[in-house]
Amino acid sequence: MGVYRTIKIDGKWIQYSHYVWNINHPEDPYVPYQGYVIHHKDGNKKNDDPSNLQKVPDKIHRGIIHKANNLAQWHKDNPEKSKEVLRKGAKRMREVVKSDPVKYAKMLKKRRESVIKANKARKLPKEEWNKRRAAYMRKWRKRKGELNE
């Protein structure tokens, strides 16, 4: 028996969440295998309330699920650290939002920029990649006995 609830319409079985989405969003219907999925916001696959459903691109949905699973596992493995991190983060967020919403927006922008900067820093020029690749290949050949240096 599957996790998702299903319903039979015109001789075809479909997920009940898809049916609910299509009834409540006739202007943006869900069509299977078109690059989108119906996401349950609260993570409960049996909660098919229209306010709990969201149509998202498949690639983004995979990222949401993967990130949520990894984060959930970390919280399970580190319960004391988890409580402390959540408490500190929530407290800081409340303080910033209450004191200055503009500052909060700037903080989010700064965080996004730092992520972009870090990603750019990881990218190396082509010459550097070629040097690293050549060094790796020399080590590999030496291990295999192809080079006698």
pTM: 0.45
Tokens encoding 39: 């996401």
Residue 62: how many CB atoms within 10 A of its CB? 12
Nearest to 44 by CA among 74, 79, 17: 17
Same domain, 72 and 39: no
Which residue type does 69 have? Answer: N
Same domain, 69 and 89: yes
Same domain, 73 and 107: yes
Q: What is the mean pLDDT of residues 87-93?
A: 70
Same domain, 72 and 116: yes
Q: What is the mean pLDDT of residues 44-67?
A: 81
Which residue range is the domain that position 95 belongs to? 65-122
Q: Answer yes or no: is pLDDT of 75 > 50.
A: yes
DSSP assignment of 109-133 equals: HHHHHHHHHHHHHHPPPHHHHHHHH
Same domain, 28 and 72: no
Name the residue with higher pLDDT: 105 or 147: 105
Mean pLDDT of the residues in the chain: 77
In a domain? residue 134: no
Same domain, 46 and 27: yes
Give the pLDDT of residue 108: 74
Same domain, 74 and 111: yes
- Total number of domains in the chain: 2
**In this structure, are residues 5 and 46 in contact, taking their beta carbons and an 8 Å threshold?**
yes
Give the pLDDT of residue 59: 78
Q: Answer yes or no: is pLDDT of 131 > 80.
A: yes
